[in-house]
Structure 1
Amino acid sequence: MPEVSARRWESADALTTETRRIVAATEAMMASTAHHLSEGIENLRLKAIVHELPDFLYVKDRDSRFVFANAVTASCLGLESAEKLTGKRDFDLFDFETARRHFDIEQQIMATGQARIDMEETVVLPGGGKPIVRLTSKIPLRNDRGEIIGLIGVSRDITERKLQEDLYRGQANLLEMIARNEPLPMILEALVLMIEAQLTGIDGSVLLLDSEGTRLYHGAAPNLPGGYSRLIDGVSIGPKVGSCGTAAWRGQTVIVEDVMSDPLWEDFRALVAPFGFRSCWSTPIATSQNNVLGTFALYSREVRRPTEREMKLVALATHIAGIAIERKRVDDRIHFMAHHDDLTGLPNRAFLKERLANILDQARRNNRKVTVAYIDLDNFKDINDGRGHAAGDEVLKEIAVRMVNSVRASDMVVRLGGDEFLVVLVHQSSHDAGIMRRLRELQKAINRPVRDEDGEFAVTSSIGVASFPFDGATSEELLANADRAMYRAKELGRSTLQYHDGVGSTPVGMPLSEREELHQAIVGDQLFLEYQPQVDVATGRITGLEALVRWSHPAKGRVPPVNFIPLAEETGLIVHLGLWVLNEACRRARHWQDMGLTPMTIAVNVSAKQFADPDFAKHVAEALERHDLKSHWLELEVTESVVMQDAERALAMMESLRALGVRLSIDDFGSGYSSLAALKTFPFDRLKMDRSLVEALPGDKTAVAIVSAVISLARTLKLSVLAEGVETDAQLDFLRQAGCDEAQGYCFSKPVSPDGIAALLQAGSL
């Protein structure tokens, strides 16, 4: 017998001491029995010891049938006792592929006499469940004559050890990702996946607290249902907001065993029920100073509390997430400080240098214009000298806010230094006629009086304007020409807007002496209306017309509206001008109906001063009566800024107009600050999206998102939607797919004369 054992150890010299002891004990038992394997083990003392071993121990015959197995082997295979395993093969216990793999290895061992030591194998035990990892050694079993009669298998469950090794590797990988400054979403997703891999039936989620500390937003949830993640994205925190919202509010771990009965989930049960989650345990992610950064949550579809091990993993996850989020915030802050002005928070010269070249490249590829406005505050030194530098700083911050609120989200406002600013207007079409209107509105916003505790004082600005590609092919040329135009504006008396013309720059607009000429145009016969068709997006049928005023000057010829409308507003002539347009539009609409043409709604723009006139509703009623036009064929367009100046008075005026039966639309929606309150409060029939949104479609993702949201909002409020400035088929296709009702612009028709409109109405469509 010692000789036989010696030969066996030669082929298994890599066995551990414990394994050798087990094998030796087994051989001793078998040697004391009859020579046939089926006679069993009769040494009861040794048999009891073997059954107490925590590792798997079994003996198989030449056909890979179990001859003997200890208790833990049988139990893990789902059998009540070791005796019930006798005579079975792996094919009776495992899936075919697993059984075949075991069988092939065992047959090779018995055929060659070569042991297989410390094989690492992943096995799904009978009955399913999570796979386990085993470290297995199998050696051939010989009789006294040295003949191989079977094999002995020894196996240890190392699943926990492997999980711990994976956890260590995962931690190291995450720390490397943080050190490499990889994107935070990637780090958080890897973190959640690492924790999920350690658990069974658990889905993880990271939510990030916003800068205001009021809402939680999606951070990472790779295996949560997408629909659920979208529903909780942006949830407010509070004392009774599920697990995560409450944990962030309390700054403490919140464990909910059953979301269907816990009062913290009372308002969210209907939301979570379709997804089958029953338990949710959420822990705040916090800084070293215990400032909450977000939450880490685990979801289970069972009603239960977390185990001690699960909570240890959560503690590890929140610690690593805190490091990653803090690192990202520090990096963002450093980047922000390097590219933004400390006082106003606006982008600085460094940011401008990085961005402007890219903006111009994109404009060049898409045949777009880019306009830059170089802005200098005229009397800023007087403010600093007279009121102190602290007051000057407050003025700069106020002006910065005004400028940001006067431009679109896609535009850029930069503080160049001191009292100098730059505004970059992007995504313009090549013939954008509204740019000067936008710049004048910007200047008006800047020039509004500033109030402080000592009273009110004036701030004016000089603006120099240059456009790409006409006034410069590079950012350097463009800025230099805008700067020159700004100095020219100062030379001409300040509080002026000056456009670079490539030579010496001449003022845009009209001299003060021409105000009387505009008055003569209104009372004389120099003004006329053109009409731009409004078209049903789905059918192409003309649904309405917008009346647009034009001026035929006896000496200068045709004067663009951008040159005389601002003057009319500044002098108060806009009220008289508006009344003329109102009456002429009603007269023409009645004339077309008398011709037998299909009646069309005529849209007329209403200015702020005109709308503020207490007699405006009476003037509208008189115009309708004078020209015998039914009120529902007239639509009045007012901008949001007009009605928001005095909401109570505006609402009363709109109710008076609605009582007449005229339609009301909100014009230029999206051109600046847009308040949802305006849509909810005032009785509008239609929403007109500003051309600044439409012109960026469909290539600009921001514009796409905003336009889609506006259309969806309008549908909810039962408003029809009209898009202005539609110029391309691509824009029209997008609007059609997005559900926009109507559109107008050069894609259909430019503004045309009354005779041209008559011809179009006879045709019925464009």
Structure 2
Amino acid sequence: MTNELSRYRRDSGAKIASNDDTRRLLAASQKLVAEIARLTGPEADIADRHDWLETMMNHVPDCIYAKDAEGRFLMANHATVVENGFSSMSEIVGKTDFDLHPREAAQSFFDVERRVMETGEPMFDIEELAVVDRGSERWLATSKVPLRNKAGATIGTVGVSRDITQQKRVERLLVGQARLLEKIAKSVSLQEFFNELLGLIESHLQGVVGSVLMLSEDGRQLLTGAAPGLDPAYSAAIHGIEIGPKVGSCGTAAWRGEPVFVADILSDPLWEDYTELVRPFGYRSCWSMPIRSYNGQVLGTFALYSPAPGVPSEEQRELISMAAHLTGIAIERQKTEERIHFMAHHDALTGLPNRMLFDERVALALENARRANQWVALAFLDLDNFKLINDSLGHKAGDELLRIVARRMLSCVRKSDMIVRVGGDEFIILLTDLPAENGIVVPRLEDIRREIAAPLTIAGRSLQVSCSMGVVAFPEHGTTAEELLANADAAMYRAKELGRNNLQIFNAQMAATAHEKLRRYEELREAVAREEFVLHYQPQMNLRSGKIFAAESLLRWQHPERGIVAPGEFIPLAEETGLIVDIGDWALNAACHQNKAWQDAGLPPIVISVNVSARQFRERDWVSRVATALAESGLEARYLELELTESLIMQDVPQAVATMHALEALGIQLAIDDFGTGYSSLSALKRFPVKRLKIDRSFVMDIPFDEDDKAITSAIISLAQELGMEVIAEGVETEAQLEFLRDNGCNEIQGYFFSRPVPAEGLARLISAD
């Protein structure tokens, strides 16, 4: 850029006279016009004597002219004539600037001349923008003096205009470059910088349009940084294009790391795979320069497109080089700032936000929660026995453990939440945008605790690490970050006092509730570990045959102290804490093994029905776990039915349908449990690969006395039949209910009227007696 500007200055300096030269030229021109006036007498018309002026002034490269008091040209040298698009002086004499230029420009010229004539004072080096007929932009430095007759009266003006277009272009470049450097210094966005740069280059080189493409993080693709002058469709087409040895100008320049100037896109081999892509847009040449960092790394490309074939001139090459260099500085500056900002606000080991970033964001999170009447949960977490691991396996293993724990925690939270490393093995978890209830907080944090506690291998050793967690909620346990942190820290130490590997909630009232829930959770978790569960089975009867064709497996907790615990007492807690996944897996495997055992004992084969929780159904490997249960038990898939609730399916219908089809492909039967309570639409229902609908007991219990229930039940039966599904009613307890169902076409029932849920041996007796 410096060399180009120096050359411009030299070239311009050779053409431009100094102010003293201009004054002397104007004085000589004024004397010459006055002498002609004296020789021809006061009556003579100076314009008729143009031969005298042409002889003396046509060799001068600047424009020299004289005008009368009305602004009409009296004479003009050859440069002036040509500049205004004529071939001889006779064509311009008598015309005004209003005849030659746009009105705004002509008025500006006229106002200056009127001022010179009225004041009698010359005006030197006025910069004027002259747009001539051929449409090119021209800048002139004009000086004007009064034209006086022999008597000294002002009769017009004499002017000299120098072409300073090139000088103005250089000045514009200098100012533009200064503005760009200022933008880099002020750290404006790259988009703003790119648009400013391209605007500068495109205004300097008329007819070309530019683009900045950024290299993707993996170094394989070019992404549009800015290209305001390019056709948007073309920009979209090349966005994300992979670089390579034969990928047009930009893709090849990025690949080679060197300039690629293509003179004709339509014939150059580098473009042959993209000719038809670019042809509709009319671009014929493309000159691309790699954008580099300070250490030579390719960051992207800067390119100019032209509608005309050809290679860039020396001036254009220098401008492309300058633009690529400035772009590299801007990109490198932003990357450096991003790295510095990240390092200042994140933990170097784990990449998690640090306490500084937490302090910046937590106040805003609390304020947003206050306005929206929401909760913010904050947990202070400390890994249990981390020092022992660090000391026994070394700091390298300890660092790896911290990185693994950080990744596991991040996998459990949303983007709006925050995991912060405070130092050592201590972390802060910030959960935002929560409804004002504590039933959501504990399950989320228990998910994190469970994820942290999953087995892992470090330095060839299999490990399992637990954590102690203290939890507070805004605004219940504090209104400032300092209060919340202090209370969470206190709760965390309480968790450690209670034996570690647990979660404690601050505040006496909540702590009591939380303690009880955690106690029950730990008790339930121990029950899972010890397999303290049993299955009871409620038979399902076909009214036509009068035989048992299936049985629903129902979970019971065989508590060592309290005896049989009904599912209503522990299933909600299992759902809330995620233990339902492990419990559900146990129930599925137990049911499959029991059904196979009945068959192996010679009993008539029946279908065993197993309830599926929403948490189970959403597990990524759920289908494969079902397949494993069948394979390990030896049970044929046709003898297993999975009961899904309407509400479960409607949470994510497309995903649910995909999972259901995958289960159907295994040969498993599917049923919708509690039908009529989940608000599924008919359009969704017909997409479900379901064999059976179960009428919820809430519709059966008041039959035949409630007319609404009778109507609903009858409608469900008709709907199932229309969709080609079987229908079974649960909760049948009376003869009247059975008769109504039979009369309305429901041939399968389940309920106390036939049998209560019974242990495995009890169902075996019922089947045998059937």
**Does the alignment reach a TM-score above 0.5?**
yes
What does 1:586-605 align with in structure 2 at a 5 Å threshold? 605=617
Report if the CA contact (8 A) 2:345-2:353 is conserved.
yes
**How does 1:660-679 map onto structure 2 within 5 Å?**
none
SS of equivalent to 2:179? helix
2-structure distance, mates of 1:486, 1:163: 69
Which of 129, 133, 138 matches 1:132? 138
Structure 1 counterpart of 2:64: 57
Whether the 8 Å CA contact 2:22–2:160 is kept in 1: the answer is no
Q: Is the CA contact 1:437–1:562 (under 8 Å) kept in the aligned structure 2?
A: no
1:204 aligned onto 2:213: no
Q: Equivalent residue for 1:523?
A: 536
Q: Partner residue of 1:595?
A: none
Aligned position for 1:42: 51
How far did 1:64 drift?
Answer: 2.8
In the superposition, relative to structure 1, how do residues 394 and 584 fare at CA in structure 2: closer, same or farther (>3 Å)? closer
Deviations 1:382-411 (A, max 9, x none): 222222111222222222222223322222
Alignment correspondent of 1:569:
581
Cα distance in structure 2, aligned partners of 1:549 and 1:120: 94
Structure-2 residue corresponding to 1:350: 356
Identify the match of residue 309 of structure 1 among 311, 315, 337. 315
Offset of 1:448 from its aligned partner?
2.7
Residue 483 in 1 paired to residue 495 in 2? no
Instruction: Name the stretch that deviates more: 27-36 or 70-79.
Output: 27-36
Note the C-alpha offset of 1:612.
Answer: 1.3
Shift of 1:58: 1.8
Q: Take 1:432 and 1:201, find their aligned partners in 2: how far apart are those partners?
A: 65
1:287 paired residue number: 293
Instruction: Return the match for 2:130 from 123, 126, 131.
Output: 123
| Structure 1 residue 348 displacement after superposition | 1.0
CA–CA separation in structure 2 for the residues paired with 1:603 and 1:417: 34
Give the drift of 1:135: 1.4
Distance 1:578 1:90 in 2: 101
- Which whole-Å deviations, capped at 9, do the CAs of 1:177-234 have from their partners, x for residues lacking one? 3334444443443333333332323333333334443444444445445555555554
Does the 8 A contact of 1:123 with 1:132 survive in 2?
A: yes
Cα 1:604/1:240, change in 2 over 3 Å? same
**Counterparts of 2:289 and 2:555 in 1: how far apart (Å)?**
63
In structure 1, C-alpha distance between the alignment counterparts of 2:88 and 2:486, rounded to whole Å? 91
* Structure 1 residues 508-547: aligned runs within 5 Å: 508=518, 509-512=520-523, 515=527, 523=536
Whether 1:256 aligns to 2:262 is: yes
| 2:408 equivalent to 1:402 | yes
User: Does the 8 A contact of 1:59 with 1:68 survive in 2?
Assistant: yes
**Matched-pair contact (CA < 8 Å) for 1:575–1:609:** no
Gaps of 5+ in 1: 1-11, 526-547, 587-601, 644-649, 666-687, 689-719, 723-740, 743-751
Q: Is the 8 A contact 2:375 2:432 kept in 1?
A: yes
CA 1:549–1:113: 2 relative to 1, 3 Å: farther
1:155, CA displacement in angstroms? 0.8
**TM value normalised by structure 1:** 0.69
Deviation track 1:223-265 (CA, whole Å, cap 9, x = no partner) reads 4455555555544433334433332332222223344444444
**Residue type matched to 2:291 in 1?**
I
Could you tell me which amino acid in structure 1 is paired with residue 91 of structure 2?
K
Task: Kindly indicate whether the alpha-carbon contact (under 8 Å) linking 1:636 and 1:662 is maintained by their aligned counterparts in 2.
Answer: no
Deviations 1:569-618 (A, max 9, x none): 345435269999994779xxxxxxxxxxxxxxx99936556741336687
Name which of 78, 82, 93 aligns with 1:75.
Answer: 82
Give the Cα separation in 2 of the matches to 1:302 and 1:663.
68
Deviation at 1:353, TM superposition (A): 1.2
Report the counterpart of residue 296 of structure 1 in structure 2. Answer: 302
Shift of 1:72: 2.2
Partner of residue 327, structure 2:
321
- 8 Å contact from structure 1 (residues 635, 662) kept in 2: no
Letter paired with 1:41? H
* 2:536/2:556 contact within 8 Å kept: no
**Structure 1 residue aligned with 2:179:** 173
**Residues 427 and 574 of structure 1, relative CA distance in 2, 3 Å threshold:** farther
The aligned counterpart of 2:384 is 378
1:157 to 154, 163, 168: 163
Q: How far apart are residue 330 of structure 1 and its match? A: 2.7
Structure 1 CA distance for aligned equivalents of residues 450 and 162 of structure 2: 81
Whether 1:560 and 2:566 are equivalent positions in the alignment is no
| SS of corresponding position for 1:304 | coil
Alpha-carbon separation, structure 2, partners of 1:30 and 1:550 = 125
Distance 1:54 1:557 in 2: 104
SS in 2 for 1:156: strand
What displacement does 1:417 show?
0.9
For the residue of structure 1 that corresponds to 2:627, the secondary structure is coil
* Cα separation, partners in 2 of 1:524 and 1:499, compared to 1, 3 Å: farther
Letter in structure 2 aligned against 1:92: D
Correspondence for 1:614 among 627, 634, 658: 627
Partner of 1:16: 23
Q: Aligned partner of 2:45: which letter?
A: H
- 3-state secondary structure, aligned to 2:578: helix
Counterparts of 2:555 and 2:434, CA distance in 1: 23
Structure-2 separation of matches of 1:225 and 1:497: 59
| Contact 1:33–1:42 (Cα < 8 Å) also in 2 | no
Q: Would the alpha carbon gap of residues 639 and 409 (structure 1) be closer, same or farther in structure 2, given more than 3 Å must change? A: farther
Query: Which one of the candidate residues 436, 454, 458 is aligned to 2:464?
Result: 458
Between the two proteins, the alignment pairs up a number of residues equal to: 623
In 1: Cα distance, 2:449 partner to 2:273 partner = 48
1:416: Cα distance to partner? 1.2
1:30 CA drift (Å)? 6.8
Supply the distance in 2 between the matched residues of 1:241 and 1:231 (Cα, whole angstroms): 13
Report the equivalent of 2:705. none
CA positional deviation for 1:475: 1.9
Q: For 1:97, which of 92, 104, 113 is the aligned residue?
A: 104
In the alignment, which residue of structure 1 is the partner of 2:10?
none
